[in-house]
Amino acid sequence: MSFVGLTGAVSNVSNASQPGTTAKAAPAGSTDSAIGATLKEDTIKLSLAAQATLMHRQGQSPKLIAANLGTNVATINGYLGIMVAAPTPAEPVGSKAPEVEPAQAAQQPRRGPTAGN
- Count of domains observed in the chain: 1
**Range from 25-29, 37-41, 50-54, 78-82 carrying the lowest mean pLDDT:** 25-29
Task: Tell me whether residue 32 is in a domain.
Answer: no
Task: Tell me whether residue 67 is in a domain.
Answer: yes
Task: Tell me whether residue 35 is in a domain.
Answer: no
Distance in angstroms (rounded) separating the CA atoms of residues 76 and 69: 9
Q: Is residue 27 very low, low, confident or very high in pLDDT (cuts 50, 70, 90)?
A: low
Q: Is residue 1 very low, low, confident or very high in pLDDT (cuts 50, 70, 90)?
A: very low
Task: Tell me whether residue 58 is in a domain.
Answer: yes
φ/ψ of residue 57, rounded to 5 = -65, -25
Task: Tell me whether residue 112 is in a domain.
Answer: no
Q: Which domain holds residue 57?
A: 42-85
Task: Tell me whether residue 75 is in a domain.
Answer: yes
Dihedral angle sign, alpha carbons of residues 16, 20, 25, 31: positive
Task: Tell me whether residue 48 is in a domain.
Answer: yes
Task: Tell me whether residue 71 is in a domain.
Answer: yes
Instruction: Classify residue 11 by burial, with Cβ atoms within 10 Å: 0-12, 13-18, 19+.
Output: exposed
